[in-house]
Amino acid sequence: MAKNKERIDTSGKDAELTHNPFAALQSLASTPETAAPTPPPATAPTTTAPAFQVQRTRKGGWPIRLEKRPSGKVVTVISNVTQGADTLLRLLKKQCGAGGVVREDCVEIQGDHRERVESLLARH
């Protein structure tokens, strides 16, 4: 039971293989009547206050400390968070790739991330 298979000509003699159906659209797009309106110029981004605020210590440093829990776990604690603790926590969790929690005016991140937290606070 052999099936009769027809071969498709790929020699390039037919113009159907080189026909571009979008060629007519390119010529229409270049006319000024159908051209899309240009978007308005972009305005310069305005500088806004950060969504969180951490007050420095009396000596001028960042209130970052490392705590060791009874279970042997290490936690980085940022205290003196006066505004946007949830925003700061979300940013730190993403930056450090670790879990964390907000407790009163403190933000806790699992692990030792003192350098990352300090650089992030200095940038904002």
pLDDT digits (tens, 9 = 90+) for 61-85: 999 999 999 999 999 999 999 888 9
Tell me the per-residue pLDDT of 81-100, one tens digit each, with 9 for 90 and over.
Answer: 988 899 999 999 999 999 99
| Of 46, 32, 35, 48, nearest in space to 84 by CA | 48
CATH 3.65.10.10 assigned to 53-123: no
Burial 22-56 (b: 16+ CB within 10 A, else e): eeeeeeeeeeeeeeeeeeeeeeeeeeeeeebebee
| The pLDDT of residue 18 is above 90 | no
- How many other β-carbons are positioned within 10 Å of the β-carbon of residue 108? 17
User: Which tokens is 15 given?
Assistant: 């113009």
Confidence of residue 21 (pLDDT cuts 50, 70, 90): confident
| Of 95, 89, 86, nearest in space to 113 by CA | 95
How many Å separate Cα 90 from the centre of its chain? 12
Domain boundaries, the chain: 53-123
Confidence of residue 102 (pLDDT cuts 50, 70, 90): very high
